[in-house]
Structure formats: C-alpha cells, structure tokens
Chain A
Amino acid sequence: MSFDLQEWYKKNSKEKILYSYLGAISEQKISDILDNVEDILTENGENVKLLKRVYYTAVETLQNLFHHSEVPNSKIDENTAFEKVVAFILNEKLDEKYHIITGNFIKKTNLRILKERIDQLNFLSQEEIKVLYKLILNNEEFSEKGGGGLGMIDLVKRTGNNLNYNLYNFDNDYIFFSLRIAI
C-alpha cells in the first residue's frame, strides 16, 4: 500500500496537540508558526529555559524543512497541489517533555547521507556533541543551501535527546521522512 499523507497526519495529530500544520512551507509561514508556538508556550506559563528550547527546536526543524524538503514527481493526493508540503506538530507536554514531529518528502538519493548523519549524532555522547558543535561552528564552510551543517547537531546538543526518525516509501524516487524530537 502506498503512503497516505493525510492518514499519517491524522495518526500523528491524535495525541493532545498544542499546534499543528500541514501544507506548503515558506519564509512567511515559518514566521507565522513560530509566533504561534511562542504565544502558546508563553500563555501556558512555561519557564524561560524550556520555552526557549522548544522555540529553538521549532526554528531549526522548520528551517530544515524549508531548506531540504522536495516536491515529489507524483501527486501526493487529490487535495494537495504540487508544492513543498510539510508537516509540523507540537504536542502537549507529556512526562515533563514536549515533542515536535515533522514530516517532509526527500529524494531517495539523499537518504543515505541524512540517515548516516542522524545515526552518527545519536551514537555520540553529549560531551562529544559539544566538541563536534564547536568544531563545525569554527569551520568556515557553508553548505550550498545556506546551512552550516550545524542544525541537527544543535538540536541534539540543546535537547539532550536522540533524533527519532521513520521512513515511508512514497514512490520510486521519493521517501516521506518523519522526525520526532523530545524537548
């Protein structure tokens, strides 16, 4: 059976959610989502440290979606146009942790490098992550998409948690990639 984006979104929005979005991503949309996330956490009276960590995680994950999402060749479903469609879900706090779930399409040819990067980060200790962060911060290169290669490392460094991902086959060339981070 092929991947059904709407079903995936429904299933992942089942838990108690604070905010969720499924649709096209743009710079403007990112600003809107971030404003919403900040307002919700502030209204909830969340403490500065956790509020900022959740906000940072939202910034980095949304900007990763913006820079790295692809538009599959085949139509996603009847209701979705050919555009850079992404999902972003912020769950209510559970056992003292918030969870952010994101989803986007990527080319299968880019999968190996992404998986390797995440698996490597999940394997490192928090001390090793801190050393790696400083090494890459001080390395002058920027990737062609403007990222410094720091985004994923910073997520692990700040949250102190592993990046959990799932892969769903979409068609011959594209995979739906979902990422879950506890904060």
Chain B
Amino acid sequence: MESIKIERTRKTPNVVFNAETGKIQIEGKSIPENSIEFYKPLVDWLEEYGKTPQKQTEVNIKLEYFNTSSSKCILDVFKKLETIHKTGNSVVINWYYEEDDEDMLEAGEDYQSILKIPFKMIEMEE
C-alpha cells in the first residue's frame, strides 16, 4: 500500500501516512475553505489501511490551528482509527499542543471524550 505524503501549504497541514511503519502524522495549519476535499483521500486511505493494519499504529497530531470545518473531518479520520482499534489493533493518538494553548488542549479533550481510543496529551514547550 502506498504512503501518503503531502507538503504543507498556507492553509493545509503536512501529512505523512505510512502503511509500512504504521505512523501517521498531521502537522501545521488546517484552515482550508473546503476541508472535505482535503481530508477525503486521507479517510479513504485509512479505510484501506484498516483492512490490514500494522499491529501498532502511532498517530501524531501537531496542529497549530484548525478551522471548524476541519474539526469535523479530523473526527472522521479519528473514527476510522477507532474502527482499527476496535478490531484488536493498538492505536495511540498523540495530541500535541503548544504550551499555554489551552484551547488546543481542550479541542483534544473534546475528541477524547467522543471517541473510545487512547489519547496522549503532550505539551510542547515554546
């Protein structure tokens, strides 16, 4: 299965989805006007990956900002990961937030409360 690598732009994050290592990373800003267009290929990739996932999938989310339409799409990404987790595979979501960015921590906690999947909240020092 091919990996996904997308370079960051002014409005979309850097994305690396690697099926061989089971490492998934989304990093940067996610504020596109049309979030569905950006996230649909990622959700589709996870659907495919979920058929033969690695025993351990590590997800690193390091977002500086995301808009509300991205927030729904990110939940869709997490729901695919939750399905993988439910089938007995290990999935951990590392949710990074900048020191003092309480809103980003709270956003991660909102996802954590909606999903049945392990989250680690990791504060990054400035």
Interface residues of A (CB under 8 A from B): 27, 30-31, 34-35, 47-49, 52-53, 55-56, 59-60, 63, 66-67, 133-134, 137-138, 140, 142, 146-148, 150-151, 153-154, 158
Q: Which residues of A contact B10 (CB under 8 A)?
A: 31, 34-35
CA distance A55 to B102 in the complex (A): 15
What are 28 inter-chain pairs, A to B, with CB distance below 8 A?
A27-B33, A30-B33, A34-B31, A49-B100, A49-B101, A49-B103, A52-B65, A52-B101, A52-B103, A52-B104, A53-B103, A55-B65, A56-B103, A59-B67, A60-B67, A60-B68, A137-B71, A137-B72, A138-B75, A138-B114, A142-B69, A142-B72, A146-B34, A146-B36, A148-B68, A148-B71, A153-B68, A158-B103
* Total chain B interface residues with beta-carbon distance under 8 A: 25
Q: Which residues of A contact B33 (CB under 8 A)?
A: 27, 30, 63, 66-67, 146
B75-101: CB near A (< 8 Å → 1, else 0) gives 100000000000000000000001111
CA distance A63 to B31 in the complex (A): 9
* B113 at interface, CB cutoff 8 A: yes
Q: Which residues of A contact B116 (CB under 8 A)?
A: none
Q: Which residues of A contact B71 (CB under 8 A)?
A: 137, 148, 150, 154
Q: Which residues of B contact A49 (CB under 8 A)?
A: 100-103
Q: Indicate if the CB atoms of A137 and B103 lie closer than 8 Å.
A: no
Q: Which residues of A contact B126 (CB under 8 A)?
A: 48
| Chain A, interface SS category | helix
